[in-house]
Structure 1
Amino acid sequence: MKDPENKVAVITGAASGIGRGMAEAFAAVGMRVVLSDVEEPALYAAAAELRDGGADVHAVPADVSQAPDVAALAESALRKYGTVNVLCNNAGIHTGSRPSWESTLDDWAWILGVNLMGVVHGIRTFLPVMIEQGEDAHIVNTASIAGLLTGGSLYGVSKSAVIAYSETVHLELIGGGFKPRISVLCPGVVSTNIFNSHRNRPARFAEAGPFPTGWSEDAARQGFALGLSPRTIGEEVLQAIREERFYILTHPEYAGHIEHRMTQILHGENPTLLPMPGS
């Protein structure tokens, strides 16, 4: 998609963090943006701020883990703008790192419901519409560098699955001669509040496993504050859409870690961890 001006983008998890950064970057080049999030007060506040800056935006609350919510999001976007050219399956949560066997089934259901099934619901709902439109279109699935590295607990599992699914859809689109293209975003540390995901934990998933010994929300907040700005990530996503580039790797300092993992796989070696950048 060489010229995104006046195109319509739908972004989930758009009230803050990377989703908000995408919305700002898209609006700055004249795109019309449908913002969606499960956190309604933050969603409407973000939409109001973007409108005050001159953006053409539309806010639709949705829980991406629920297929009917995503269907309603698509209906609202099409009713408002008549088309959808870009879909960013960005909504995501983190349940904290702990020994995986101490995580509850509620932990698993919640994180896979949002991080993986949110992407599945988005693609199943929007991609047929994009194909039917017969125009240039693009999907961006937000994974994580955790999906390319060893470890990562439940979060890494969910993001590895997003990468694998995105690769599958890419091959299916190319092989089928369809116009839409797809990218997978794999950022490292970004200045977001994903560490505070429990603020939006549904009551139906009330049974939570223990946080790791020594975990501190204040320390997490300080660490994430040092990450890349969401707007920077949004600009990189916009460039990848223009280039129809599949992998969006925003943190080159992790290249050696990806290579380390791939080398161990090819050599049949047992997994080991390298020190994280900056540690």
Structure 2
Amino acid sequence: MQDFDNKVAVVTGGAGGIGKALVKALLDEGARVVIADVEDGALEAAVAECSGEDRQVSGFKVDVRKAESLEALADYVYGEHGACHLLFNNAGVAAPSSNVWETTPNDWAWVYSVNVMGVAHGIQAFVPRMIAGGEEGYIINTTSGDGGISSLPYQSVYASSKAAVCALTECLASQLESEGTRLKASLFYPSGGVLVTGLWNPERNRPAELKREKPGAPPPDIEAFKEAMKAAGAEMQFQDLDELARFTLDGIREQRFVIMKNLDEAADTLQARSERYRRAELPIVFEEIPQM
């Protein structure tokens, strides 16, 4: 897919962070975009911010944890636009850092319901219709280097959910090709540096029925992270979200399965992990950020 003009794109988690940057990049290319998000206020604000002359953008409230919510989104998209050419399964959350034995059942239920089942629900709601439409299309699933490449040792819930997205997307891409469809699937790794997104405050959208059964350390905010890294003498590089979104669209044009900055570094990490596996050793993990 080389041209996004007049293509229909759906972005879950599209009201903020990298999702909103993707929405803006798509609109700049002439796409018709549906922003899907669970936050009413953020969704309304994102639609207002992204609207403009010759820009076709709308919003739809969706809870990706629920299959019926994604089916309703697909009904809306096909009712309004008659097609979907680009599906970004981008919504994601993270649980507090802790030892595996200190996590709670609700930590796992919440993160997996969004990060894994949210992707599966999006695929199930849209892909059959996209195949039936017979047009060229793309499914882009957001994963993470944390789990997709290696893992932060105290992020077992989040990292394992993102590893699952990688496996799911590999299977999806292979099936789309073997079935002779005109669809492709890609893994998108937000990368290139520290990203300032809503993932720094994921608990804001945590449903009451999945609250933590016992107290946990609150997630660090971005300012605390900056201070901790500075105190540790670590150099920080921030990635501009708009530039990353444009990079992602270029990755789609080039039909990359893996859309990721610093890909050579990631490949080196994967090779090192493979060598440790060959020796039957614990594979390397990312270093944890300094204690805050």
SS at match of 1:138: strand
Give 1:271's aligned residue: 283
Read off the aligned partner of 2:165 and give its amino acid letter.
Answer: V
Contact kept, 8 Å, 2:9 with 2:88, in 1: the verdict is yes
1:277 Cα deviation (Å)?
10
Please show how residues 110-259 of structure 1 align to structure 2 within 5 Å: 110-146=110-146, 147-150=148-151, 151=153, 152-188=155-191, 189-212=194-217, 216-217=220-221, 218-220=223-225, 227-252=238-263, 253-259=265-271
In the TM superposition, what whole-angstrom CA distance separates every residue of 1:236-265 from its partner, at most 9, and x where no partner exists?
Answer: 221121122111112344443333222222
**Native 8 Å contact 2:274 2:283 kept in 1:** no
Q: Distance in 2 between matches of 1:8 and 1:180?
A: 14
Look up the match of 2:6: 6
Instruction: In structure 2, give the amino acid aligned to 1:190.
Output: L
Pairing 1:98–2:98 present: yes
Equivalent pair of 1:195/1:220 in contact (CA under 8 Å) = no
3-state SS of paired residue (1:10): strand
User: In 2, are the aligned partners of 1:191 and 1:226 still within 8 Å (CA)?
Assistant: no
Aligned to 2:52: 52
Instruction: State the shift of 1:273 in Å.
Output: 3.2
Distance 1:276 1:153 in 2: 12
User: Normalization by structure 2: what TM-score?
Assistant: 0.88
1:54/1:194 CA distance change after superposition, 3 Å: farther
Residue 230 (structure 1) shift:
1.9
Contact map agreement 1:193 1:221 (CA 8 A) in 2: no
Q: Report the Cα offset of residue 20 of structure 1.
A: 0.6
Change (3 A) 1:153 1:60: same
**Count of aligned positions:** 276
Return the offset for 1:226: 5.1
Letter in 2 for 1:78: Y
Unpaired stretches in structure 1, ≥5 consecutive residues: none
**In 1: Cα distance, 2:137 partner to 2:220 partner:** 42
Contact 2:14 2:35 in 1 (8 A): yes
Q: 1:277 to 1:264 in 2, by over 3 A?
A: farther
5+ residue gaps, structure 2: 230-235
Question: Percent identity of the aligned residues?
Answer: 37
Larger displacement relative to structure 2 (255-264 or 85-94): 255-264
- In 1, distance between residues paired with 2:204 and 2:130? 34
SS of 1:36's partner is strand
Report the secondary structure of 1:52's partner residue.
coil
Whole-Å separation in 2 of the counterparts to 1:156 and 1:100: 12
Which residue in 2 is equivalent to 1:43?
43
Instruction: Report the Cα distance in structure 2 between the residues aligned to 1:52 and 1:216, rounded to whole angstroms.
Output: 36
Work out the CA distance in 2 between the residues paired with 1:26 and 1:74.
Answer: 19
Does the 8 A contact of 2:187 with 2:258 survive in 1? yes
Mapped to 2, the partners of 1:100 and 1:55 lie a distance apart of: 46
Compute the displacement of 1:210 (Å).
4.3
How far the C-alpha of 1:127 sits from its partner, in A, is 0.4
Query: What letter matches 1:196 in structure 2?
Result: N
Q: 1:156 to 1:119 in 2, by over 3 A?
A: same
Identify the range of structure 1 (45-54 vs 172-181) with the bigger mean alpha-carbon deviation.
45-54
TM-aligned CA distance change 1:251 to 1:191, over 3 Å: farther
Superposed CA RMSD in Å reads: 2.2
CA deviations over 1:159-215 (Å, ceiling 9, x no partner): 0000000000111111111110000112243221202000111011022554459x6
Counterpart-to-counterpart distance in 2, 1:226 and 1:197: 22
